Amino acid sequence: MTPTAPKPASRTYQGIAVSPGIYIGKIHVYDPVQTVVPHHLVSARAIENEKKHLREALAKAKEELQRLRERVRDTLDEAHASIFDPQLMILEDPAVVDSAVERIEKNQENASRAFMTIIRQFVDKFSSVGDPYLASRNSDILDVGNRVCQHLAQVQPESSSALQFDSEVIVLARDLSPSDTAQMDQLHVKGFATELGGPTSHTAILAKALEIPAVVGLGPFLAGLKTGTQTIIDGYEGTITIDPSPREIARARQRRKKHLVHERYLQKLKHLPAETIDGYRVDLAANVELPIEIPHVLAHGAEGIGLFRTEFQYLENDRLPGEEELFEVYRKVVEVMDPHPVIFRTIDLGGDKFLGALQTGRELNPFLGLRAIRLCLAHPEVFRTQLRAILRASAHGSARIMFPMISNVAEVRQAREMLDEVAADLRRERIPFDEEIQIGVMIEIPSAAITADQLAREVDFFSIGTNDLIQYTLAVDRGNEQVAHLYEPFHPAILRLIRNTIDAAQREGIWVGLCGEMSANPLCALLLLGMGIDELSMGALAIPEIKRLIRQVELTDARRLVEEVYSLRTAEEIREHVLQAYRGLQRKRARAGGMLRAI
C-alpha cells in the first residue's frame, strides 16, 4: 500500500482588514499576464505612425474604462462608479499625452516605452511623498499604463471572464486594480485577499460596497499556492488561513455565527441615538477620505461627517483644483448628508506632497514644517479658493469649517480674517452661503491643548485629533517600528491634555469632538464619555459598536472611572484599570439583562 502524503500544516497570514466577514472555501489564485513593455527606437519615418498607435490605444483604453464605470454605476451607484474618474482623467490629460508624444518625437522611443515612462513618473511621485493615500493610488495608475500598453501590443487586456467562476471561490492575488474588482463574479466571489494594497485603496472601498470579506497588505504569501486549496478568510481580524485544520474551521464557523448575531443586533441600533442609560447624548460621526464612502457611512448610522478630508483633490493632479471643482464635490457631499452636518477640514498637507503648482521643496522634518494651516496662510490664494468653495456649498446643506494644526490664537485670527474677507466678497457678488456657519479648530498640538481656554474664545467648536496629538506630545513617530510601541493613547499626559481641552471648551460654552483613532476604541471611548465629550468621529465600521457601548453604560459610572484613573501613573496601570472597569460593567449589564461585547 502506498502511504498517503501527510496533510500540510495550516499557515495563517496577517494583513489589513478592509471589509468584514468570514468565509471558508477554496481559493482561486489570480495571476494575470504581466504586461511586457518593449524598448526600442523607431525610425524617423515611423514616428507619426507610432503617435497614431498611441492615440488609438488611449481611445480603446478609455472605452473599456467607461464601460466598467457604467457597470459599477448600474450594479452599485454613481458614487462608486466615480472610482474610475481619476483613471479616465489620466487618459484625457493633455500633459500626460503630450509628454508621451514628446518622448516619441525627441527620443524616438516606441509608444509603449514612452507612455509607461510617464506613468511610472506619476507612481514615483506618489511613492516619494510617503502618504498612504497617495501610495494606494499607484495600483490605479499602473492599471491605466498596463491597459494602454496591452492595446499597443495588440494583446487583449485581461477579460472579465478571467474572474468569472462556476463555483464559489476566494480570490487571492498579488494586487487587484479597481477594474479587476469591478469585473469579479459577484455571485461566486465570496472574498479576496492581496499581498499589496492598503485600507484607503479604491479596491478596498469597492469590497465594502460589495459586502464581501477582504484582506489586503498581507505581504508575500502566494508562492506555491494552488487554486483549489481550502482557506479561511477573516475580514474582521485581517487574516487568511491556508489549509486550516478541522478545529480551525470549526472555530471560524463559530466566530462567523457570533459575528452575524452581533451584527443583526447592532443593525437594530442604527436609528437609535447614542445615549447613556442616564440620558447623556453623544453624536457619532464618521471620518471620510473620499465622497464614495458616504453610502457606507450612512449605512452604519453616522449622524454626520466629523472629519471630511479635503486633500484628495489636491493630490490626484499636477495642478491645483479650481473653485468650481472643489465646490461641486463639497456641494454633493452636503446635499447627500443633509440634514446631518459635514465638517470640512481645510488642506492638511505639506508643500512636499503637492504634485505640481505648489511645490515648496523638501524639508528636513516636514512633520514640523510648512504644512496644514501654516501652508494655507503662506499661500492665501490657495486658501481663499477653498474657503469660497466651502462657503458656497454651505448654502446647500449643513457645512462646518475646521482649521488643522493650530498652535496659537494668532493663527486662528489670521484664518478667520481671511474667511471674513472671502465671505464679504460672496456677499458683494450676491452668492448665497450660511451666514451662521460654525468655525472650529483641531486640537492636535500640545500648545493648543494647553491654551485651549484661549482658543475656545475664538471658535465655535474643537475637534481633538489624537493621532497627531499623541505623536507630538510623546515625540513618537508611530511609523517607526523602533519606537512605535511608545505610541500610547493611555499615557497620563495624553489623557490630561484631552481633559483640559474638554473642560476649557465646556467653560466657554462650545462643543468638543474627537476624530482620532481613540474614538473607535471602546476602552478609550468609555474614558472620553466620562470626560464629557460631545462628539466622536471614527471609521464608519466602528460606529455601531461604540453606539452599543454608550447605550449600555451610565454617565455616572464613566465619570467615576475618569477620577479613578487620574491618580494612576503609567499607561499600563490605566489600561488595566479601564479594562477591569469595563468587564465590571459587562457583569452589571448581564445581571440587568443586557451584555457588552467582550474585549
State how far the Cα of 309 lies from the Cα of 313, in Å rounded to an integer: 10
Active site residue 188: no
Q: Grid coordinates in use for 597?
A: 461585547
The helix/strand/coil state of 367 is helix
CA dist., res. 266 & res. 255, Å (int): 16
Eight-state DSSP code of residue 366: G
Q: Which of 28, 202, 300, 491 is an active site residue? A: 202
Whether 515 is catalytic is yes
Phi, psi dihedrals of residue 146, rounded to the nearest 5°? -65, -40
Task: Give me the catalytic one of 80, 376, 379, 515.
Answer: 515
Are 536 and 281 in contact by the 8 Å Cβ rule? The answer is no
Residue showing cell 478545529: 247
- Kindly report the length of the chain: 599
Q: How many CB atoms lie within 10 A of CB 37?
A: 19
Helix (H) / strand (E) containing 516:
none
In terms of Cα–Cα distance, which of 5, 492, 13, 556 is closest to 234? 13
Distance, in Å, from the CA atom of 2 to the CA atom of 300, rounded to the nearest integer, reads 56
Q: What is the dihedral of CA 542, 310, 529, 299, to 10 degrees?
A: -30
Please state, in angstroms and rounded to a whole number, the distance separating the CA atoms of residues 229 and 27. 6
List, edge to edge, every strand of the sheet that includes 230-234: 11-14, 239-242, 230-234, 22-30, 169-173, 189-194, 214-216, 16-19
Phi-psi label, residue 570: left if phi above 0, alpha if psi -120 to 50, beta otherwise: beta
d(CA 500, CA 496): 6
3-class DSSP state of 422: helix
Q: CB count, 10 Å around CB of 554? A: 16
User: Cα angle vertex 323, ends 371, 288, to 5°?
Assistant: 60
C-alpha to C-alpha distances, 188 to 28, 176, 209, 236, 394, nearest whole angstrom = 11, 17, 16, 21, 44
As to burial, measured by CB atoms within 10 angstroms (0-12 exposed, 13-18 middle, 19+ buried), residue 3 is: exposed
Query: Which pairing describes strands 11-14 and 239-242: parallel, antiparallel, or unpaired?
Result: antiparallel
C-alpha cell read off for 451: 491654551
What is the SS3 assignment for 209? helix
If 0-12 CB within 10 Å is exposed, 13-18 middle and 19+ buried, where does residue 124 land? Answer: exposed
**How many angstroms separate the first and last alpha carbons of the chain?**
51
The interaxial angle of helices 466-474 and 492-507, nearest 10 deg, is 130
- Looking at residue 214, its amino acid is A
Beta bridge partners of 194: 173
Evaluate the CA torsion angle 333, 336, 337, 341 in order and state its sign: positive
- Residues classed as catalytic: 202, 515
